[in-house]
């Protein structure tokens, strides 16, 4: 066990005990107790002394013991509708992966974009981002990596060996895949876990609902812009491969598609269910306007999709279904628990008066709204380089909401850019799973990732400040 994990394992509960037994009050009896629990969770989340999902269970045990919230109310956070929205999304992702449709979609996009070096990079980036909108960024990276390695191997074994231009191309592809996976998840509510933590907080604590379509109106243009900027930073500025020529990449993509064979009936069935689900998400408000008795929500649509994948038989005689319950062993159950822990912690901060205290403190100070927003975005983005973005959003989102209340601005205006910042970590391998996966390929060194990453981090911060100042007031 790493030293940092050993230290964290004991430091977390020690800080909790010290904070609970202070001879004076920091805020109030309840407030101090919530801070104690938050400190324990934060230490374990940062050091990953135990699984971050196990850490998320602490409120379920400690909040009732410390008389912060009764166990029934704490438990309700782990069964919040937003968690089932993500559950349905996970089941859809599972189906896409099981029938290999995600791989076919990715290869088809790469084939369509072209096979010159820069177009290959662009194809990989678009395909990865498109997949990350619907399946986990880890899964989308794992799908793309072997295809990318096959293309890079062509350059290693060609007549002139692995030249500097070849290395630049390999770097662009690898970093392009990782960064696109991070950015693509921003485009939809189910694309990345921090989005759901934020939406859950807004619904649970402030009765503010963001529809799937409303989020995409903001998320898709932002993700597209970041994708374009990332492409130009990597290909035109940091790692240019001008003059590089190879035609065999076309054969690699063709061969990979041939391995998949013709589109199967199961793939078509999954694609149909997926298409209907996305259609319902996008036009939910319109459907509810025509049929108000339905009262459709994004969560209901998500669960409808999951049930269809389990219950509609592909072959009734053989009892052959797209998804069986045993397939859910691959489901990211831990992430769902993590959402619940984040929502429970947010509820604790709310009922104990911590959020009100932050709001009042900000209201009484003379701080510039734009400066505060800029610092929070910067803080979130660079902190997420070092710890889980979901855990970070779980801890900071309630505080950010309190700051927004204190500044007397709509909560959404501040919370959305700060949350999105947590998905824009490009600098370090440990920041996100996609960064770690491409780093493990051996074609990317830490200084190279950091050099490109710090530029993209600063561009992302600048864009999010502009979003805060000019875009969100128009949309929300």
Same domain, 172 and 26: no
Q: Tell me how far apart the alpha carbons of residues 215 and 476 are, in angstroms, rounded to a whole number.
A: 10
- What is the pLDDT at residue 159? 57
Same domain, 3 and 97: no
Integer CA distances (angstroms), 369 to 20, 302, 427, 465, in order: 34, 37, 28, 11
CA 151 to chain CA centroid, nearest Å: 28
8: in domain: yes
Domain boundary among 314, 330, 346: 330
Same domain, 143 and 244: yes
Distant-in-sequence, close-in-space partners of 192: CB < 8 Å, separation ≥ 6:
132, 137, 185, 186, 389, 423
Q: pLDDT tier at 87 (50, 70, 90 boundaries)?
A: very high
* Structure tokens belonging to residue 368: 């510039």
- What is the pLDDT at residue 166? 79
Same domain, 116 and 248: yes
109: in domain: yes
404: in domain: no
Q: What is the pLDDT of residues 16-32, one digit of tens each?
A: 999 999 888 888 889 99
- What is the pLDDT at residue 387? 78
Q: Tell me how far apart the alpha carbons of residues 199 and 192 are, in angstroms, rounded to a whole number.
A: 12
Residue 264 DSSP code = P
Mean pLDDT of 51-79: 94
Provide the sign of the torsion angle of the four alpha carbons 37, 41, 44, 50, taken in this order. positive
Question: Which residue in 300, 86, 303 sits closest to 190, CA to CA?
Answer: 86
Q: What is the pLDDT of residues 259-271, one digit of tens each?
A: 888 999 999 999 9
Same domain, 186 and 313: yes
407: in domain: no
Mean pLDDT of 97-119: 85
Domain boundary among 330, 357, 388: 330
Same domain, 2 and 117: no
Q: pLDDT tier at 162 (50, 70, 90 boundaries)?
A: low
Same domain, 247 and 161: yes
pLDDT at 74 over 60: yes
Same domain, 126 and 191: yes
Q: Tell me how far apart the alpha carbons of residues 104 and 49 are, in angstroms, rounded to a whole number.
A: 38
Q: Tell me how far apart the alpha carbons of residues 398 and 202 are, in angstroms, rounded to a whole number.
A: 9
> How many domains would you assign to the chain?
2
Residue 305: strand, helix, or coil: helix
Same domain, 43 and 136: no
Same domain, 106 and 28: no
Q: pLDDT tier at 383 (50, 70, 90 boundaries)?
A: confident
- Which range marks the domain in which residue 7 is found? 1-50
Domain boundary among 330, 364, 383: 330
Average pLDDT, the chain: 90
271: in domain: yes
- What is the pLDDT at residue 384? 87
pLDDT-wise least confident of 71-75, 225-229, 366-370, 469-473: 366-370
Residue 313 DSSP code = E
pTM for the whole structure: 0.88
* Structure tokens belonging to residue 416: 């959305």
255: in domain: yes
Same domain, 147 and 45: no
Same domain, 92 and 37: no
Which H or E run contains 315? strand 313-315
Q: pLDDT tier at 153 (50, 70, 90 boundaries)?
A: confident
């Amino acid at each position: 066990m790493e030293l940092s994990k050993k230290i964290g394992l004991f430091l977390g509960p020690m800080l909790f005990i010290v904070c609970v037994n202070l001879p004076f009050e920091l805020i109030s009896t309840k407030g101090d107790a919530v801070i104690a629990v938050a400190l324990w969770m934060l230490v374990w989340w940062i050091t990953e002394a135990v699984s971050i999902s196990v850490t998320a269970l602490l409120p379920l045990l400690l909040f009732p013991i410390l008389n912060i919230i009764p166990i029934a109310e704490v438990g309700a956070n782990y069964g919040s509708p937003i968690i089932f929205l993500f559950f349905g999304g996970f089941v859809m992702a599972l189906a896409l992966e099981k029938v290999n449709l995600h791989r076919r979609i990715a290869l088809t996009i790469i084939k369509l974009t072209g096979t010159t070096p820069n177009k290959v990079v662009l194809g990989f980036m678009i395909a990865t981002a498109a997949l990350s909108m619907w399946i986990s960024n880890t899964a989308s990276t794992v799908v793309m990596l072997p295809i990318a390695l096959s293309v890079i191997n062509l350059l290693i074994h060609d007549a002139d060996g692995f030249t500097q231009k070849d290395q630049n191309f390999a770097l662009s592809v690898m970093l392009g895949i990782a960064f696109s996976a991070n950015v693509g998840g921003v485009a939809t509510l189910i694309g990345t876990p921090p989005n759901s933590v934020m939406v859950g907080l807004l619904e649970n604590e402030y009765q503010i609902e963001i529809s799937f379509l409303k989020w995409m109106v903001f998320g898709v243009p932002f993700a597209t812009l970041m994708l374009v900027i990332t492409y130009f930073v990597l290909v035109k500025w940091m790692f240019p491969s001008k003059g590089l020529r190879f035609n065999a990449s076309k054969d690699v993509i063709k061969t990979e598609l041939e391995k998949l064979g013709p589109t199967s009936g199961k793939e078509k069935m999954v694609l149909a269910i997926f298409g209907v689900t996305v259609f319902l998400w996008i036009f939910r408000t319109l459907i509810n306007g025509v049929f108000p008795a339905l009262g459709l929500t994004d969560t209901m649509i998500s669960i409808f999709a999951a049930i269809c994948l389990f219950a509609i038989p592909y072959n009734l005689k053989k009892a052959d279904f797209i998804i069986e319950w045993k397939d859910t062993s691959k489901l990211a159950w831990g992430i769902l628990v993590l959402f619940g822990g984040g929502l429970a912690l947010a509820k604790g901060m709310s009922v104990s008066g911590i959020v009100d205290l932050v709001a009042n403190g900000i209201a009484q100070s003379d701080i510039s709204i734009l400066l505060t927003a800029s610092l929070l975005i910067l803080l979130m983005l660079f902190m997420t380089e070092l710890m889980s973005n979901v855990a970070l959003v779980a801890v900071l989102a309630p505080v950010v909401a309190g700051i927004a209340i204190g500044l007397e601005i709509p909560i959404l205006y501040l919370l959305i850019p700060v949350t999105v910042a947590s998905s824009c970590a490009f600098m370090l391998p440990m920041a996100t799973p996609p960064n770690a996966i491409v780093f493990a390929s051996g074609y990317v060194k830490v200084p190279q990732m950091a050099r490109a990453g710090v530029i993209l981090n600063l561009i992302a911060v600048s864009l999010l400040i502009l979003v805060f100042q000019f875009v969100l007031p128009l949309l929300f």
